[in-house]
Structure 1
């Protein structure tokens, strides 16, 4: 029996425990998740390198998953646009069962190999795309269909599962397998396995976008002022990035028409909007290179 379907002896009498005993046990079990992820960081980094290479060449990051794994992928992809200013097509998700499966479980659709293959083919995958398939057990046929289609198209493939050996792991270019052990509720892989997958998704998307130049220092330089909170955050980002006070950051943002990259370069170099924009364009829109370039 695979680990994700095995029984956890620590929770064998779970129904007899008090509420505080249950949550303490769950908390204790969760402590091992970060360590399990730590053991596969080299594999996560390999996946990041594939994503950076692919997107730099005009490709896309495509997540594929079923059930909890798919919902976690949707969550990660949805956050890329507001956090990193990605265009909608750059990070996409194939979810078994489609949008309806986001809010109502449709367990049978994870077995649909042909559906996964067809949905992946409809995306027009290319060798520059990177497909990351997620399945707690590593056996979801829908995800296997997506990965097989990606391989046929010459795209790079990554599998994320919580068993040391799996069908998806056997066919992907990179296999990320944090072994979190049996769940507190037997087979409920939305728990530790889901937490591990979310941590790995955080790392893949964040590290990739940092290496793609969508972060300067630790600052979200693609942020847009979609609400009052973010407008204030933009000013603080410019203040930190350009090493100026809030009033000067506000002035720079106004001159830069809300473009954080441009405002930071203006503040650090003393250039006007047009000259700073030219400097950025000359170095591929890289803020650090624009600031450090001697012109």
Structure 2
């Protein structure tokens, strides 16, 4: 049974309600969506661990899907370079209808299984790659075939769906069921299902990068400081981590071309940029371990 296509009894007469009642019901649907993610946290954690392992081996993260689901996934993937410093070349998208469908959704493309096969084949996937396939129904042909092709290529497959016992969840190495139930408006999966998908994706990519050392005490230490706001944030990060003033932090950031981790190490006592980079290389980019190592030799 497709719960995302079921009629919710609570919506009867919806079009005759006043605005406050309508918005209250819609908001309740959003709250249920987030609650469904909390129920799936054990599966989310396993998926994030698998993604972290793949990225640590030099693999890529690939998002595959159609319609609203892939639109949401593109948002998650597009922010990974600026947020966590992941190279853009290690992020890929297999989109039903191609990039044009992100602006003008091509509903027919959801059934184009040949395009799904071609999209996966073009990536020449390896076992280090992780493919995240999303479909609210769990049965979208494009997404299902993309996931099966990725599995055949030995990539790790994470599947996210909002209906139980679906083909997409069955094919995955890591299946995440987001049991959002019937939509307030039948089939409008950009609402409840979409909210849950966005939440789950954010948790997976964030936890994976925490495991990879991209976060220190809540700071995004691998962000790309490409504007005045972010450069100021980078100064605050270095000052807070190394316990120095922002002037000293700014000076160190100038030496490291804006990179937070080596700047923090310089402020904490590393001789120069080369020494800071060597410490990071020794600890696989983990700033906390590098700081501990530096403190042990002072």
Tell me the TM-score normalized by structure 2.
Answer: 0.95
Residue 77 of structure 2 is aligned to residue 77 of structure 1:
yes
Structural mapping, 1:148-227, within 5 Å: 148-227=148-227
The aligned counterpart of 1:123 is 123
Q: Which string of whole-angstrom CA distances, capped at 9 and with x for unpartnered residues, describes residues 230-289 of structure 1?
A: 111111111122122222211221233322111111222353333222222222222111
Cα distance between partner residues in 2 of 1:189 and 1:117: 25
Cα distance between partner residues in 2 of 1:278 and 1:37: 40
Cα distance between partner residues in 2 of 1:167 and 1:190: 21
The aligned counterpart of 1:243 is 243
The aligned counterpart of 1:56 is 56
Cα distance between partner residues in 2 of 1:105 and 1:121: 23
Report how many residues are paired: 295
State the Cα distance separating 1:225 from its structure 2 match.
2.6
Farther-moved stretch of structure 1 (138-147 vs 215-224) = 215-224
Q: Which string of whole-angstrom CA distances, capped at 9 and with x for unpartnered residues, describes residues 91-130 of structure 1?
A: 2211111111001121111111221111101100111111
The aligned counterpart of 1:262 is 262
Checking the alignment, whether the CA contact within 8 Å between 2:47 and 2:158 is kept in structure 1 is yes
Structural mapping, 1:132-151, within 5 Å: 132-151=132-151
Checking the alignment, whether the CA contact within 8 Å between 1:62 and 1:92 is kept in structure 2 is yes
Checking the alignment, whether the CA contact within 8 Å between 1:69 and 1:197 is kept in structure 2 is yes
Checking the alignment, whether the CA contact within 8 Å between 1:130 and 1:155 is kept in structure 2 is yes
Checking the alignment, whether the CA contact within 8 Å between 1:127 and 1:156 is kept in structure 2 is yes
Q: Provide the secondary structure at the position in 2 that maps to 1:89.
A: helix
Checking the alignment, whether the CA contact within 8 Å between 1:138 and 1:162 is kept in structure 2 is yes
Residue 85 of structure 2 is aligned to residue 90 of structure 1:
no
Q: Which string of whole-angstrom CA distances, capped at 9 and with x for unpartnered residues, describes residues 41-74 of structure 1?
A: 1101111111111111121111101000000011
| Aligned alpha-carbon RMSD (Å) | 1.3
Cα distance between partner residues in 2 of 1:137 and 1:147: 14
Q: Provide the secondary structure at the position in 1 that maps to 2:271.
A: coil
Residue 56 of structure 2 is aligned to residue 32 of structure 1:
no
Q: Which string of whole-angstrom CA distances, capped at 9 and with x for unpartnered residues, describes residues 184-223 of structure 1?
A: 1111111000000000010111111111122222111122
Checking the alignment, whether the CA contact within 8 Å between 2:65 and 2:94 is kept in structure 1 is yes
Checking the alignment, whether the CA contact within 8 Å between 1:280 and 1:287 is kept in structure 2 is yes
Tell me the TM-score normalized by structure 1.
Answer: 0.96
Cα distance between partner residues in 2 of 1:131 and 1:124: 12
Cα distance between partner residues in 2 of 1:181 and 1:172: 21
Cα distance between partner residues in 1 of 2:285 and 2:170: 39
Farther-moved stretch of structure 1 (264-273 vs 283-292) = 264-273
Q: Which runs of 5+ in 1 are unaligned?
A: none
Residue 112 of structure 2 is aligned to residue 109 of structure 1:
no
Checking the alignment, whether the CA contact within 8 Å between 1:219 and 1:241 is kept in structure 2 is no
Checking the alignment, whether the CA contact within 8 Å between 2:64 and 2:93 is kept in structure 1 is yes
Cα distance between partner residues in 1 of 2:255 and 2:129: 37
The aligned counterpart of 1:3 is 3
Cα distance between partner residues in 2 of 1:274 and 1:290: 13
